[in-house]
Amino acid sequence: MNSADAAYVASLQARAQAFNGELFDNRVPLAKVRFLPSAAVRQLGSVRANADRSAFVVRIARLLDGPAGDADVQGSRFNLRDEVLVHELVHVEQFIIAPDEQPHGLWFRERMRAIGARPRACPTVQLEVRGRWLYRCPAGHEVARLRRYGRRRVSCRRCDPRAYNAKHRLRLVGEITSAGGAE
């Protein structure tokens, strides 16, 4: 782990410790929680438990370590970084207190509301992502991806959602520039 990631993990651990005392009455066993940065852009956070739920791995998107993480979340008292962190801590609490409940079910939503966070699984916040690849189908539908498809052939799911269809093959247009167009 590089020094920037180590600093980010340390800040997440410090925030989690503060939230554990303030919001969870120290019920979240943070000594059993490992925090890791994630390169994901669409999934801002995740939590995984081992089989006997004695250890947890919480991943928080690296892009939240900056201005994107400071964004306000409508309907929440937290900024986006803290909203995602609290969301994952509620999942850890749920693994321990209510393990038979659905991950984003009634128990989870009520707990999030009690804390003052949005009860939804993912905040609806528009994040600017750079370096995406733009694909277009013959009908003109566009698909922006973080990674290129590579060698495999892919078709437009809006035109034919069932399987690959050569008539609707996606073609690479180019890389999306910071100005918003493809090169």
**Coil, strand or helix at 9:** helix
Is the pLDDT at 79 greater than 60? The verdict is: yes
Contact in structure between 153 and 172 (CB atoms under 8 Å): no
- Position 119 scores a pLDDT of 83
φ, ψ dihedrals at 63, nearest 5°: -65, -15
- Position 124 scores a pLDDT of 47
Q: What is the mean pLDDT of residues 1-8?
A: 86
Q: Find the DSSP H helices in 24-165.
A: 80-97, 106-115
Which of the pair, 143 or 83, is modelled with greater confidence?
83
- The pLDDT confidence band at residue 148, using thresholds 50, 70 and 90, is confident
Q: Whole-number mean pLDDT of the chain?
A: 86
- Position 179 scores a pLDDT of 46
- The pLDDT confidence band at residue 151, using thresholds 50, 70 and 90, is confident
Domain layout of the chain by residue ranges: 3-115, 133-175
Q: 133-136 and 45-49 as β-strands: parallel, antiparallel, unpaired?
A: unpaired
Query: In degrees, to the nearest 5, what angle opens at C-alpha 8 toward C-alphas 32 and 124?
Result: 90
pLDDT tens string 86-125: 999 999 999 999 999 998 999 999 999 999 998 875 554 4
CATH class of 3-115: alpha beta
Highest mean pLDDT among 21-35, 141-155, 168-182: 21-35
Residue 175's nearest CA partner among 138, 145, 137, 140 is 145
Is the pLDDT at 181 greater than 60? The verdict is: no
Residues of the chain with pLDDT > 90, as a percent, come to: 54
Contact in structure between 54 and 79 (CB atoms under 8 Å): no
- Position 180 scores a pLDDT of 47
Q: Which amino acid is residue 69, in one-letter code?
A: G
User: How many Cβ atoms from other residues are within 10 Å of residue 16's Cβ?
Assistant: 23
